[in-house]
Amino acid sequence: MIKKLDMKTADKVDSNIEQIAQLFPNVMSEGKVDFELLKQMLSDSVLDCDDERYRLDWVGKKESLLKANSSINKTLRPCKEESVDFDTTENLYIEGDNFEVLKLLQESYLNKVKMIYIDPPYNTGKDFVYKDNFTQSKADYEDEIGLRDEDDNKLFKNTDSNGRFHSDWLSMMYERLLVSRDLLKDDGVIFISIDDNEVHNLRKLCDEVFGEGNFIASVVWKRKRGRDNSAKWFSKSHEYLLVYSKNKSEFKTNYLELDESTKKAYKNPDNDPRGIYRMLAVWARGTQSGVKYNFTDKDNNYFPERLWLFSKENLIKMDKDDKLIIKGDNIYRKLFIYENKGKIPETIWDNTSNAANAADEIKSLFKNILFDTPKPIPYIEEIFKIATNKNDLILDFFSGSATTAHAVMQLNAEDGGNRKHICVQIPELTDEKSEAYKAGYKNICEIGKERIRRAGKKILEDNESSKEPKDLSNLDIGFRVLKIDSSNMKDVHFHPNKLSQDLFAELESNIKEDRDNLDLLFGVMLDLGVELSLKITPKIVDSKTIYILENKELVACFEDNISLEVIEEIKNQSPYKIVLKDECFESDKDKINAVESLSKVCSVSVI
């Protein structure tokens, strides 16, 4: 084939715009680049601009964009005593503000998450709590609310009396969606539960963050059975599920299994040896589009020109394969059940369980309803079936009662999958009058962790007592608990006039005294962009602990006065990366020799 030359240079403008759209989909509006917004994306300070254009604006938008692009000085600390199967599990439960956590996960999980599901605050006029500021000092805060976390960050309570009611909710969501988008794989997708209060704003927000061309669907879920006759205007029974892909051309939905009512529609009245089938019309009706032509079948039956759903070539092939049925002036095709890949997901869900069932699921585990607004497991499972494969990673950064973790384990038990989950939840205090508080759960994280423990145990017990138990020996019902905290490293950036001899003594080590080797390991994993779920194998050499990560991704040692024997063992592991503590050598000479020796294997870093 000869390619005809254009005889002109390539259009760099279109090419550049395509690249900008890939990197920053939020700066695209009606096919054009919003250059003011692009400048803000590339700026480390708030820019002034009041140009009018088609977009969603609110008070605080630029500050949120700036915050999404800024760095934070935090880390994640492991908590083995609250974990289940800490050394072997691939699941994570992270306690802390989800914005900070998302920022920390950027390197380790960049382009690695297949699906995000979130059930964020609906902004109904009731309180929702989130961190309002991550950088300012205590003196810069307003004290009128008087609610702070243990790090002295203000926790903001958003009520409908707040003058920035919608703006604060939009800011809270915007910065989190901006950061989370980068975690999605190219074929990744996000599902967001929401109701009427903010669905209109959330749709515009997602158009900006993910690109309006990446909108997939707006699902209506019937969350409530029955009618509320006490309602003032309409009995509200539904919520929404917004679906956006990272890259629509890459994302593919899975077919859902045929339900029993659909299967019953398949018959075999003529005893076709190929099995049961459905009769489907092959001509276009109503608003259906089609191809216009006349048709003569192999038995010379003539059909005048009309709109057909298939090309003439395909209709002829069906006729040749004995898949057409003639009934008067109409033609039907046989769709055999073995040809049916399944159901294409629809946008109205009224058979995937409801809110009352979700409350019963909580009650079956705890004997009380400890959480007000959980989603039912079949509803979440339906989402997973549509958007994930058996080995995918799922992220939920508004974890709540940990329904996502429960549903992941349940679906894996059902289909033999190995899906992994990362659940993130701020440890918001429970109301002292609530059933949860009375049962001893002082914050939402305590409920979530205990639910995962109990759900995993129940899944195994139910399987053992079933008539046909499955082999669930490889089912991962564990989770590795991580908690957000300040940096492992001391703040060594002091003003010269504040330096003293005593301070120099305190800074002999740049590592905080309350941090252990496992804290340092996870801090290093974050810094190097290593997945936090990798299996960790400790090995003792010459009374020193060496940490060996799965697939030799990293070998680290944070001991003092390590010997040549330790260095040789690290070399023998042939890792991709090596990390040591800066003061682990007795002398500078030992340090130089060790680093030179280890550098022959791979790159060496120190903390």
| pLDDT tens figures, 128-140 | 565 544 333 333 3
Q: What is the mean pLDDT of residues 255-281?
A: 88
pLDDT confidence of residue 4 = 41
Q: Which two tokens stand for residue 201?
A: 């704003």
Report residue 456's pLDDT band, with 50, 70 and 90 as the boundaries.
very high
Crossing angle (nearest 10°) for helices 444-465 and 355-366: 80
User: Look-up: residue for tokens 């259906």?
Assistant: 288
The whole-number average pLDDT for the span 267-283 is 91
* Two structure tokens written together for 219: 């699902």
What residues does each domain of the chain span?
25-68, 69-157+166-224+236-257+345-483, 260-339, 500-606
Q: Distance (Å, rounded) from C-alpha 478 to C-alpha 452?
A: 8
Say if residues 324 and 283 touch (Cβ distance below 8 Å): no
Pick the more confident residue, 521 or 330: 521
Confidence of residue 288 (pLDDT cuts 50, 70, 90): confident
146-154's contacts with Cβ under 8 Å and 24+ in sequence apart are 151/486, 153/97
Tell me which CATH homologous superfamily contains domain 69-157+166-224+236-257+345-483: Vaccinia Virus protein VP39 (3.40.50.150)
Q: Cα(first)–Cα(last) distance of the chain, in Å?
A: 59
pLDDT of residue 382: 94
Q: What is residue 233's three-state secondary structure?
A: coil
At 13-37, the pLDDT tens digits run 677 788 888 888 888 876 788 887 8
Can you spell out the DSSP letters for 270-338? T--TT--EEEEE-B--TT---EEEEEE-TT--EEEEEEESS-HHHHHHHHHTT-EEEETTEEEEEEEGG
Which pair of structure tokens corresponds to residue 517?
């080797």
Which pLDDT score, from 0 to 100, does residue 133 have?
A: 44
**Residue 145 — very low, low, confident or very high, per pLDDT cuts 50/70/90?**
very low
Q: What's the CA gap between 85 and 93, in Å, rounded?
A: 12
460 or 139: which leads in pLDDT: 460
- Can you give the pLDDT at residue 160? 56
Which tens digits make up the pLDDT trace of 171-218? 999 999 999 999 999 999 999 999 988 899 999 999 999 999 999 999
Percent of the chain with pLDDT over 70: 86
- Backbone φ and ψ for 348, nearest 5 degrees, come out as -120, 120
Among the listed ranges 111-120, 148-157, 176-185, 464-473, which one has the minimum average pLDDT value?
148-157
Is residue 458 very low, low, confident or very high in pLDDT (cuts 50, 70, 90)? very high
**Segments of 316-448 assigned E as strands:** 324-327, 330-336, 348-349, 393-396, 420-425
**DSSP secondary structure letter of residue 468:** S
Per-chain mean pLDDT for the chain: 84
Q: Rounded to whole angstroms, how far apart are CA atoms 56 and 287?
A: 34
pLDDT confidence of residue 141: 33
- 51-56: average pLDDT: 72
On the CB side of 492, how many CA atoms lie within 13 Å of its CA? 12
Residue 588 CB contacts under 8 Å (≥ 6 apart), including other chains: none
Neighbours of 482 (CB within 10 A): 25
Confidence of residue 496 (pLDDT cuts 50, 70, 90): low
